[in-house]
C-alpha cells in the first residue's frame, strides 16, 4: 500500500472511528519468567524515579527477550508509556524511555499511535513528535496484521454509517422544507369536498415503511422521496446522489464485518504466538496442517520458523529453500535461510545467500545488516563496513536496535530475521466480495432510487407547485396566480421584480408577510446552522454551499455513533476520544460560525 493510501486509511479511521476499536495484546504471564521478573523490576524502579537501576533492569529484560527470539511485546511497551507519564522524567530520561518503548515493540503500529497520543497530551505536547510517531505507525501497518485489519474494518463500517447519516439528515431537511407543498398538492388530487383528507392521506402514504417494519433509513427516506418532486433542481440532485451512494452502504458494512474476524484461534494466532515467543507444540501442528492445506507462502514461512525453534533445522532449511523462487515470500526466505547459516557459522553460504537477497531487495535493512556480519565473519572488512553503512542509511533505528541486541545478548552475531508482511498473512483471512455483490446487498436501496427517479420524471418535471422564495407561500397554478419567474409568486413578482404599479395597501400587506416569513425562517435557519452547520442554508434552498458545510458535522456525528458501537480504545490505556472530541468539536463550532456568516451574506431579500 502506498504512503498516500495508508495516510488516507488512517485519517478515515480517525474521523469515523475516533480511534476506537478492540485491542488484542498478550498477557504478562505468557512469556518466560525471567523476562517478566526483569521487566517488572525495571518498571517499579522507573515509577519510583530510580532511573539508572530501572534502565539496567530494562536492559536485562530486553536481552532476555531477544535471547528467546521474541519479536514484539506490545503490553510491555504500553506499560513503559504509562510509567513514563506517571514519573514525568526530565528530557534525556524521557527520550531514553521512549527508545525502550520502541525496542520492546518495534513492529507494533498501535504502540506507535500510543506514543503519538502521548505527544498530544498537555504535559508532553510536541507536534513534531506526534507526526513522527504517526509516520512510524503508517509504516508499521505493513507488519501489524491486527491493527491493519482493524483500521480497514472501521473505514468500511464508518463509511457505511456516514452514508446513512447523510441520507437521514438530508431526508429530514427535505421533509421539513417541502412537506407543506406536498400536502397542498395532495389536497388538489382528492375529489372536491375531500380536501380535509389530504393530511391523513399523506401521513398514511408516508408511514408505509413503518407499517412494514422497515429500517430507519427507509422510514425517513420514503417521505423525503414523496416531497422531492417539489424541491429545487440542486436539492434533487444532492438527494438522488446521496441515495445512490447509500446503495453501497450494505456492501461496505459487510466488508467491514468480514475484516473483524477475531484472531483468537487457527494458524494466524499460532503465527502471532511465534512473534511473541510463546509458541507451543500445538502451534507447530496447526501451522503444518494449515500450510499443507492452503499452500500459503506466509504460513510456510511461519512454519519454517516454528520448526527451527523446535530444533528441526534441516526441515526448516528445506522448507525455506523451497520458497526461494516464490515472488511474494522469496526475499524473506533468502534472509531467514542466511540466518540459519549464520547460526551455524556457515559463513560462505550465508554470504552467497545474502548477496542474492540484497540484489533482489535493495531496501531491506535486515538483509544488509546480516550481510555486513557475514562479510565480517569472512574477514572482508571493507565490504562489511560498506554494507553496514547501507543498512544504517535504510533504517538507522533498526540498525541501532540490532547492535543493542548483539551487545545485550553477548553474541558474535545477531541475526536479524524479517517479519512476515501483514498483506501476505492477510491472504489467508481475506474474504473477497466482488463489487457485483453491491447489487444484491443494496437491492432495497437501489429499488428506492429507481422509484425516486420514476417519481421525479413523471411528476417533478412537469409539476409547477413550488414555494415562493420571498413570502414562503405555496405557488399553485390552481389557487394562486403564478408568476413568470420560477420560485416567485404573482404578488411578490409584481412588487419586487416587475416594477408594476400595485395598490399601496396590498403592497404593504405583502411586504409585511415577507418580513414575518423571513424573521421566522431566518431565526430558524440561524439556529439550525449553529446546531448542524449548513443545514439552515439547505433549508433556504442554498443547497451546494450548505451541503459542503454539512460534511464535517455529519462525519462528527458518525464518529459519535461509531464510538457507541465500539466503545473500547484502540490502544490499551490510551483513550483518544477526549482529544478527538475537543479537536473535532472546535472544527464543528467553526463550521457553525461559517455557515451563519455565509447565510447572512447569501440570504437577502429586498423588502
Which pLDDT belongs to residue 155?
85
Q: Within this chain, do residues 230 and 246 fall inside the same structural domain, yes or no?
A: yes
Question: Three-state SS for 79?
Answer: helix
Q: Is the residue at 420 inside a domain? A: no
Q: Write down which residue in 502, 527, 560 finishes a domain.
A: 502
| Position 83 pLDDT exceeds 80 | yes
SS3 content of the chain, % helix, strand, coil (to 5): 75, 0, 25
Domain that holds residue 193: 153-261+429-463
| Of 22-26, 97-101, 319-323, the least confident | 22-26
Query: What's the rounded Cα separation, in Å, for the pair 460 and 185?
Result: 12
Q: Within this chain, do residues 271 and 407 fall inside the same structural domain, yes or no?
A: yes
| Distance linking the first and last C-alpha atoms of the chain | 59
Contact 563, 20 (CB under 8 A): yes
pTM, full prediction: 0.79
User: pLDDT-based confidence at 406, cuts 50/70/90?
Assistant: very high
Give the model confidence (pLDDT) of 461-505 as tens digits.
Answer: 777 788 888 888 888 877 765 555 667 888 888 887 776 667 888
CA-wise closest residue to 387 among 372, 366, 406: 372
Cell numbers given for 569: 480504545
Q: Within this chain, do residues 549 and 596 fall inside the same structural domain, yes or no?
A: yes
Which pLDDT belongs to residue 43?
92
Q: What values do phi and psi take at 574, rounded to 5?
A: -125, 110
Q: What values do phi and psi take at 477, rounded to 5?
A: -60, -20
Query: What's the rounded Cα separation, in Å, for the pair 125 and 130?
Result: 8
Q: Is the residue at 211 inside a domain? A: yes
Q: Which residue has the higher pLDDT, 406 or 267?
A: 406
Q: Within this chain, do residues 271 and 408 fall inside the same structural domain, yes or no?
A: yes
Q: For residue 571, what are the β-bridge partners?
A: 574
User: pLDDT-based confidence at 263, cuts 50/70/90?
Assistant: low
Span 275-283, average pLDDT: 67
The CATH number of the domain where 399 resides is what? Answer: 1.25.40.10
CA distance to 200, 211, 252, 465, per residue, from 197 (Å):
6, 20, 42, 19
Q: Within this chain, do residues 51 and 175 fall inside the same structural domain, yes or no?
A: no
Which pLDDT belongs to residue 571?
47
Task: List, in sequence order, every beta strand (DSSP E) within 342-489.
Answer: 466-467, 474-475
Q: For residue 537, what are the β-bridge partners?
A: none
Q: What values do phi and psi take at 20, rounded to 5?
A: -115, 135
Mean pLDDT for the chain? 83
Give the model confidence (pLDDT) of 354-367 as tens digits.
Answer: 999 999 888 889 99
CA distance to 242, 399, 477, 522, 525, per residue, from 483 (Å):
32, 79, 10, 24, 26
Q: Within this chain, do residues 126 and 187 fall inside the same structural domain, yes or no?
A: no
User: pLDDT-based confidence at 295, cuts 50/70/90?
Assistant: confident
| Of 211-225, 386-400, 420-434, 543-557, the least confident | 420-434
Give the model confidence (pLDDT) of 541-599 as tens digits.
Answer: 888 989 999 999 998 888 888 776 654 444 444 556 676 778 888 889 999 999 988 88
Query: What's the rounded Cα separation, in Å, for the pair 559 and 562?
Result: 5
Contact 141, 13 (CB under 8 A): no
Query: What's the rounded Cα separation, in Å, for the pair 587 and 522?
Result: 24
| Position 26 pLDDT exceeds 50 | no
Q: Within this chain, do residues 312 and 294 fall inside the same structural domain, yes or no?
A: yes
| Position 324 pLDDT exceeds 50 | yes
CA-wise closest residue to 507 among 469, 468, 466, 471: 471
Query: What's the rounded Cα separation, in Å, for the pair 307 and 274?
Result: 11
Q: Is the residue at 324 inside a domain? A: yes
CA-wise closest residue to 154 among 74, 247, 255, 245: 255
Q: Is the residue at 104 inside a domain? A: yes
| Of 105-114, 140-149, 236-245, 279-288, the least confident | 279-288
Contact 552, 583 (CB under 8 A): no
Cell numbers given for 357: 537477497
Cell numbers given for 257: 464485518
Contact 605, 470 (CB under 8 A): yes
Q: Within this chain, do residues 195 and 134 fall inside the same structural domain, yes or no?
A: no
Q: Within this chain, do residues 452 and 481 fall inside the same structural domain, yes or no?
A: no
Give the model confidence (pLDDT) of 136-177 as tens digits.
Answer: 888 888 888 877 887 888 888 889 999 999 999 999 999 999
Cell numbers given for 147: 491493527
Q: Is the residue at 148 inside a domain? A: no
Q: Within this chain, do residues 41 and 164 fall inside the same structural domain, yes or no?
A: no
Q: Within this chain, do residues 37 and 118 fall inside the same structural domain, yes or no?
A: yes
Which pLDDT belongs to residue 485?
62
Q: Is the residue at 190 inside a domain? A: yes
User: pLDDT-based confidence at 299, cuts 50/70/90?
Assistant: confident
Q: Write down which residue in 143, 164, 187 finishes a domain.
A: 143
| Position 298 pLDDT exceeds 70 | yes
Q: Is the residue at 161 inside a domain? A: yes
Which pLDDT belongs to residue 221?
95
Q: How many domains does the chain have?
A: 5
Q: Is the residue at 569 inside a domain? A: yes
What angle do the packed helices 3-17 and 543-565 form, to 10 degrees? 80
Q: Within this chain, do residues 21 and 99 fall inside the same structural domain, yes or no?
A: yes
Residue 23 DSSP code? -
Q: What values do phi and psi take at 175, rounded to 5?
A: -65, -45
Query: What's the rounded Cα separation, in Å, for the pair 313 and 329?
Result: 19
Q: Which residue has the higher pLDDT, 414 or 437?
A: 414
| Position 23 pLDDT exceeds 60 | no
Amino acid at each position: 500500500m502506498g504512503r498516500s493510501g495508508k495516510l488516507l486509511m488512517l485519517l478515515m479511521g480517525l474521523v469515523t472511528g475516533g480511534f476506537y476499536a478492540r485491542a488484542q495484546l498478550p498477557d504478562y504471564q505468557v512469556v518466560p519468567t525471567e523476562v517478566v521478573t526483569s521487566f517488572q523490576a525495571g518498571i517499579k524502579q522507573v515509577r519510583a524515579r530510580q532511573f539508572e537501576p530501572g534502565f539496567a533492569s530494562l536492559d536485562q529484560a530486553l536481552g532476555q527477550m531477544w535471547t528467546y527470539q521474541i519479536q514484539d511485546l506490545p503490553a510491555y511497551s504500553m506499560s513503559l508509556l504509562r510509567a513514563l507519564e506517571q514519573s514525568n522524567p526530565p528530557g534525556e530520561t524521557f527520550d531514553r524511555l521512549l527508545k525502550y518503548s520502541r525496542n520492546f515493540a518495534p513492529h507494533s503500529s498501535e504502540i506507535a499511535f500510543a506514543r503519538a497520543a502521548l505527544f498530544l497530551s498537555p504535559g508532553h505536547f510536541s507536534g513534531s513528535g506526534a507526526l513522527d510517531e504517526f509516520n512510524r505507525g503508517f509504516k508499521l501497518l505493513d507488519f501489524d496484521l491486527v491493527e491493519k485489519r482493524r483500521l480497514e474494518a472501521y473505514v468500511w463500517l464508518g463509511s457505511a454509517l456516514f452514508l446513512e447519516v447523510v441520507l437521514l439528515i438530508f431526508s429530514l431537511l427535505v421533509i421539513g422544507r417541502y412537506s407543506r407543498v406536498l400536502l397542498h398538492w395532495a389536497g388538489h388530487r382528492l375529489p372536491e369536498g375531500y380536501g380535509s383528507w389530504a393530511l391523513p392521506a399523506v401521513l398514511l402514504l408516508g408511514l408505509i415503511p413503518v407499517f412494514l417494519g422497515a429500517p430507519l433509513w427507509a422510514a425517513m427516506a420514503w417521505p423525503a422521496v414523496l416531497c422531492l418532486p417539489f424541491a429545487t433542481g440542486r436539492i434533487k440532485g444532492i438527494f438522488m446522489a446521496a441515495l445512490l451512494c447509500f446503495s453501497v452502504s450494505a456492501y461496505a458494512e459487510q466488508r467491514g464485518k468480514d475484516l473483524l474476524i477475531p484472531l483468537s484461534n487457527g494458524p494466524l494466532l499460532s503465527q502471532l504466538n511465534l512473534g511473541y515467543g510463546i509458541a507451543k507444540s500445538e502451534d507447530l501442528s496447526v501451522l503444518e496442517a494449515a500450510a499443507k492445506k492452503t499452500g500459503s507462502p506466509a504460513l510456510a514461512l511461519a512454519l519454517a520458523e516454528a520448526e527451527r525453534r523446535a530444533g528441526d533445522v534441516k526441515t526448516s532449511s528445506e522448507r525455506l529453500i523451497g520458497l526461494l523462487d516464490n515472488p511474494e515470500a522469496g526475499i524473506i526466505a533468502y534472509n531467514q535461510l542466511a540466518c540459519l547459516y549464520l547460526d551455524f557459522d556457515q559463513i560462505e553460504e550465508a554470504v552467497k545467500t545474502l548477496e542474492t537477497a540484497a540484489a533482489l531487495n535493495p531496501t531491506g535493512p535486515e538483509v544488509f545488516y546480516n550481510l555486513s556480519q557475514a562479510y565480517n565473519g569472512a574477514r572482508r572488512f571493507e565490504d562489511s563496513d560498506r554494507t553496514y553503512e547501507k543498512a544504517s542509511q535504510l533504517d538507522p533505528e533498526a540498525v541501532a536496535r540490532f547492535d543493542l541486541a548483539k551487545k545485550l545478548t553477548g553474541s558474535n552475531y545477531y541475526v536479524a530475521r524479517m517479519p512476515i508482511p501483514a498483506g501476505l498473512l492477510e491472504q489467508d483471512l481475506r474474504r473477497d466480495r466482488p463489487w457485483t455483490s453491491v447489487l444484491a446487498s443494496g437491492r432495497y436501496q437501489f429499488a428506492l432510487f429507481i422509484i425516486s427517479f420514476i417519481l421525479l420524471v413523471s411528476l417533478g418535471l412537469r409539476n409547477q407547485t413550488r414555494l415562493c422564495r420571498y413570502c414562503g407561500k405555496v405557488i399553485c397554478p390552481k389557487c394562486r396566480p403564478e408568476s413568470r419567474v420560477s420560485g416567485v409568486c404573482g404578488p411578490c413578482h409584481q412588487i419586487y421584480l416587475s416594477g408594476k404599479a400595485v395598490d399601496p395597501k396590498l403592497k404593504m400587506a405583502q411586504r409585511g408577510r415577507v418580513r414575518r416569513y423571513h424573521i421566522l425562517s431566518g431565526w430558524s435557519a440561524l439556529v439550525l446552522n449553529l446546531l448542524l452547520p449548513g443545514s439552515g442554508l439547505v433549508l433556504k434552498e442554498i443547497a451546494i454551499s450548505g451541503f459542503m458545510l454539512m460534511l464535517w458535522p455529519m462525519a462528527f456525528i458518525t464518529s459519535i455513533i461509531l464510538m457507541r458501537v465500539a466503545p473500547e480504545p484502540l490502544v490499551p490505556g490510551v483513550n483518544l476520544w477526549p482529544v478527538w472530541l475537543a479537536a473535532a468539536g472546535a472544527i464543528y463550532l467553526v463550521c457553525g460560525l461559517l455557515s451563519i456568516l455565509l447565510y447572512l451574506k447569501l440570504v437577502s431579500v429586498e423588502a
